[in-house]
Amino acid sequence: MRISIVVPTYNEKENVDELMSRIDKVLNGLDYEIVVVDDNSPDGTAERVAELSVRYPIKLIRREGKQGLISAVFEGINSSGGEHVVIMDADLQHPPEVIRELLKVVDSCDLAVASRYVKGGGVEGFPFVRRVISLGATYLARILIPQARKVRDPLSGFFLVRREVIKDVKPAMSRGYKVLLEVLASRKGLKVCEVPYVFRSRLKGESKLGWREILNYVKQLLLLMPDYYKFAVVGITGVLVNLGLMTLLEYLFTIPHIVASAVGIEASLTNNFIWNDVWTFRNRKGGSRLKKYLKYHLSTLVGNASQYLTSQLIYYLLLRESVISQTTGIIVGFIANYLISSKYVWSYNPHLDARHP
């Protein structure tokens, strides 16, 4: 089979008739199937789709309850058979005629995205506030997920992808809306084409996008960010914990800098360890927590010792200002870590390395 159209539905009874007839018109003569994944819509969408399946090549998957858009789409993909897979909504905001344009370009790329934000594309009837939110969310994705930068509309819910590209994708989220982000983040070097389309306003039924989806979106970004971004963010929280706790101890409880500085450093280490363990490296199984906690101390020992020493020297010999002392210490510790890494761990080898540092 050539093409599978995967359509998630929740309360779209009034839209499915027109959807099927328009898809059929576009793909007339081609070998295709429509896979509808319905989450037990109370309005009777599944019953209507079952009736339509007499007329069109529809495969209907009925699930127990509302389990979320991403999981519906992946369930549809897994039980479809086409060489090319189109993902689209049922509510006609994604005009089926655009599938024709997607098919035209897909031979020269892995993924063809129907895009609102390339020339010729757009949104119809979005109030100003929604437009701003949509653009803001789009930019956020492109900042936090490097693979999303090659797409103008990485949040589009309408795209065509080759099966071999999508078949091994394991989504980080099951609830949540942004299927394309999961595909983009799953691997580097995907070749993406974009085709303009106008996101129509909904004529029938209502959008299921609410606050919960906005929270899910933030959670999805936090999961899909690359490890080194997560590590850097954790490092920044560590600096805040370090300086915050130290200041509190010194100014509120008049604890001397020689103690408060050490407590601040240890608190930041523990903070960083916890977040890196539950977030940055949450997929790395194995090893006891305690052992990793000790290893983390060991691996940052020189950096932390130089941080502490610098902070103490500046404070007791130069100026009695703890935040400045500690901050300078943090910078020195960072540099020490860098030097050790570049001189010792990734040392320069004149016979092997091309350029002199």
Check binding of 138 to ligand GDD (CB under 6 A).
Answer: no
Count how many residues are written for the chain.
357
> What part of residues 202-261 is at the interface with ligand GDD (CB under 6 A)?
207-209
- Distance in angstroms (rounded) separating the CA atoms of residues 144 and 230: 10
Compute the least distance from the CB of residue 93 to ligand GDD, in Å: 5
Other residues' Cβ atoms within 10 Å of the Cβ of residue 325: 23
Other residues' Cβ atoms within 10 Å of the Cβ of residue 356: 6
Build a one-symbol-per-residue string for 193-212: x at contacts with ligand GDD by CB under 6 A, - elsewhere. ------x-------xxx---
- Distance in angstroms (rounded) separating the CA atoms of residues 301 and 290: 17
Compute the least distance from the CB of residue 309 to ligand GDD, in Å: 52
Q: Which residues contact 241 (CB under 8 A, 6 or more apart)?
A: 264, 267, 268, 271
Check binding of 76 to ligand GDD (CB under 6 A).
Answer: no
Check binding of 93 to Mn ion (CB under 5 A).
Answer: yes
- For Mn ion, the closer CB: 94 or 162: 94
Q: What tokens were used for 87? A: 């993902």
Compute how many residues bind ligand GDD; rule: CB under 6 A: 25
Check binding of 177 to ligand GDD (CB under 6 A).
Answer: yes
Check binding of 91 to Mn ion (CB under 5 A).
Answer: yes
> What part of residues 284-343 is at the interface with ligand GDD (CB under 6 A)?
none
Q: Which of 207, 138, 146, 219 shows the shortest CA–CA distance to 176?
A: 219
- For ligand GDD, the closer CB: 93 or 300: 93
Sign of torsion over alpha carbons 78, 81, 85, 86: negative
- For ligand GDD, the closer CB: 209 or 301: 209
Build a one-symbol-per-residue string for 46-75: x at contacts with ligand GDD by CB under 6 A, - elsewhere. --------------------x-xx--x---
Check binding of 155 to ligand GDD (CB under 6 A).
Answer: yes
Check binding of 8 to ligand GDD (CB under 6 A).
Answer: yes
**Cα distances (Å, whole numbers) of residue 49 to 10, 14, 45, 69, 332:** 12, 11, 6, 18, 66
Instruction: Pick from 93, 115, 261, 271 the residue near ligand GDD by CB under 6 A.
Output: 93
Contact 109, 193 (CB under 8 A): yes
E-assigned strand segments in 168-317 = 192-196, 198-199
How far is Cα of residue 304 from the mean position of the Cα atoms in its chain?
Answer: 32
Compute the least distance from the CB of residue 66 to ligand GDD, in Å: 4
Q: Which does 9 bind (CB under 5 to 8 A by kind): ligand GDD, Mn ion, none?
A: ligand GDD
Check binding of 96 to ligand GDD (CB under 6 A).
Answer: no
10 Å CB burial of residue 326 (0-12, 13-18, 19+) is buried
Kind of pairing, strands 122-123 and 84-87? Answer: unpaired
Phi, psi of 162 (to 5 degrees): -75, 140
Compute how many residues bind Mn ion; rule: CB under 5 A: 3
Q: Which does 69 bind (CB under 5 to 8 A by kind): Mn ion, ligand GDD, none?
A: ligand GDD
The residue ranges that bind ligand GDD (CB under 6 A) are 8-10, 12, 37-39, 66, 68-69, 72, 89-91, 93, 155-158, 177-178, 199, 207-209
The residue ranges that bind Mn ion (CB under 5 A) are 89, 91, 93
